[in-house]
């Protein structure tokens, strides 16, 4: 799609150099024929090094766009990105493509449905009622229990276990908002990558990335009823217990432990070997190799002292 055509379609005034735009990308990973955006000054460093053909940007950051990249200046860059995403969203189902390639020794139960161009490794077991979407790849030895839904372009590694009712690759919760209060969908164009030896419990929801991938790294173990939002990264061998919720673009280092019903705000990092106690609320990035608790979050020892002080204070008032 030509840049001038796309700009006109989303209401951005642009009359400069013509370029062909093949899709959308993040500032960090956009190719030279993709459109990106900047809406958060946190990513100004990535803007300086982007390879994107063009970047949607507000007037106050227009001068920060690097040479060789076109600045599409607008007061609402995220809204215009959402509008642009509709032009690059794939159809819900492929009409043409190859039938699934199923490796030797795999067992596919009756009632399993496949999209187009699916590749299943050797020794894979898929139980009844599951759906494997277009362009999905599943590695050797993986076990998928009944009624699992795997959306398009998901990549699942070797020897994974996915329990019943889990959904992998559903749309992330991404909307831009007009001044009138209307919500415009940012079509989720990324995917989910599940590395080797990952186990995902029952009735989990793993959202696809908005523009890149949501990644669950090797050896991570998720309990039942876990929600992983778009663009999250769960580090190697992390343990995520029941009813944990990770907001978008949360990054967990390796061997992070998150207790039941704990959760994060978005766009933050939890350092490797950190532990978040049950119901802990993480609102900003925290260092690794420590134990945290409470809301607002603090180190666990301090949280224990605080609760002891409150208890003594209440006793004095009796």
List the catalytic residue out of 187, 230, 267, 300: 230
* Count of residues making up the chain: 318
- pLDDT of 181 over the 90 cut: yes
What percent of the chain is predicted at pLDDT more than 90? 97
**pLDDT range class, residue 21, cuts 50, 70, 90:** very high
Structure tokens at 106: 């795999």
Contact between 50 and 11 under an 8 Å Cβ cutoff? The reply is no
Each residue's pLDDT tens digit, 157-170 = 999 999 999 999 99
Closest CA relative to residue 221, chosen from 200, 204, 202? 200
Task: Name the packing angle between helices 3-10 and 77-85 (round to 10°).
Answer: 110
Contact between 163 and 205 under an 8 Å Cβ cutoff? The reply is no
DSSP lists the bridge partners of residue 263 as 245, 281
How far apart (Å, rounded) are the C-alpha atoms in residues 88 and 308? 56
Say how many C-beta atoms besides its own lie within 10 A of residue 113's C-beta. Answer: 10
Residue 159's region, left for phi above 0, alpha for psi from -120 to 50, else beta, is left
Each residue's pLDDT tens digit, 121-133 = 999 999 999 999 9
Predicted local confidence at residue 316, as pLDDT: 84
SS (H, E, C) 218-230: CCCEECCCCEECC
Predicted local confidence at residue 315, as pLDDT: 87
How far apart (Å, rounded) are the C-alpha atoms in residues 252 and 226? 15
How far apart (Å, rounded) are the C-alpha atoms in residues 126 and 148? 9
What rounded mean pLDDT belongs to the chain? 97
Predicted local confidence at residue 44, as pLDDT: 96
Residues contacting 186, CB < 8 A, separation 6+:
78, 81, 82, 85, 174, 175, 176, 210
Predicted local confidence at residue 317, as pLDDT: 76
Each residue's pLDDT tens digit, 246-277 = 999 999 999 999 999 999 999 999 999 999 99
Average pLDDT over residues 7-21: 96
230 catalytic per annotation: yes
Predicted local confidence at residue 266, as pLDDT: 93
Predicted local confidence at residue 214, as pLDDT: 98
**Domains assigned to the chain:** 3-85 (3.40.1390.10), 166-301 (2.160.10.10)
Gyration radius of the chain over CA positions: 22
Structure tokens at 140: 């050797």
Structure tokens at 305: 């002292």
3-state secondary structure of 165: coil
How far apart (Å, rounded) are the C-alpha atoms in residues 231 and 179? 26
- pLDDT of 86 over the 80 cut: yes
Predicted local confidence at residue 6, as pLDDT: 98
- pLDDT of 140 over the 80 cut: yes
Average pLDDT over residues 169-174: 97
How far apart (Å, rounded) are the C-alpha atoms in residues 77 and 37? 6
Q: Cα dist. 130→27, 88, 95, 112, 275 in Å?
A: 36, 27, 20, 5, 34
Q: Cα dist. 37→27, 30, 209 in Å?
A: 7, 10, 16
How far apart (Å, rounded) are the C-alpha atoms in residues 37 and 70? 11
């Amino acid at each position: 799609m030509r840049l001038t055509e796309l700009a006109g379609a989303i209401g951005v005034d642009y009359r400069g150099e013509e370029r062909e735009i093949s899709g959308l990308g993040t500032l960090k990973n956009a190719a030279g024929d993709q459109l990106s955006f900047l809406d958060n000054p946190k990513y100004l460093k990535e803007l300086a090094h982007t390879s994107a053909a063009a970047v949607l940007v507000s007037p106050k950051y227009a001068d920060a766009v690097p040479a060789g990249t076109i600045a599409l200046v607008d007061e609402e860059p995220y809204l215009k990105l959402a509008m642009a995403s509709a032009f690059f969203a794939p159809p819900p189902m492929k009409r043409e493509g190859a039938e699934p390639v199923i490796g030797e020794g795999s067992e596919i139960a009756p009632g399993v449905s496949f999209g187009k161009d699916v590749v299943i490794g050797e020794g894979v077991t898929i139980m009844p009622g599951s759906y494997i979407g277009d362009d999905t790849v599943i590695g050797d030895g993986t076990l998928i229990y009944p009624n699992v839904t795997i959306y398009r372009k998901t990549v699942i590694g070797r020897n994974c276990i996915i329990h019943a009712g889990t959904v992998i690759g559903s749309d992330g919760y991404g909307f831009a908002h007009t001044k009138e209060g209307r919500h415009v969908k940012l079509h989720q164009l990324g995917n989910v990558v599940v590395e080797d030896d990952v186990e995902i419990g029952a009735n989990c929801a793993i959202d696809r990335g908005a523009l890149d991938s949501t990644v669950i790294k090797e050896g991570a173990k998720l309990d039942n009823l876990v929600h992983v939002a778009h663009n999250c990264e769960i580090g190697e061998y992390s343990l995520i217990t029941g009813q944990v919720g990770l907001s978008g673009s949360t990054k967990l280092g390796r061997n992070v432990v998150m207790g039941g019903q704990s959760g994060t705000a978005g766009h933050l990092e939890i350092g490797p070997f950190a532990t978040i106690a049950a119901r802990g609320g993480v609102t900003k990035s925290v260092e690794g190799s420590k134990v945290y608790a409470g809301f607002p979050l603090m180190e666990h020892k301090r949280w224990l002292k605080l609760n002891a002080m409150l208890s003594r204070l209440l006793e004095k008032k009796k």
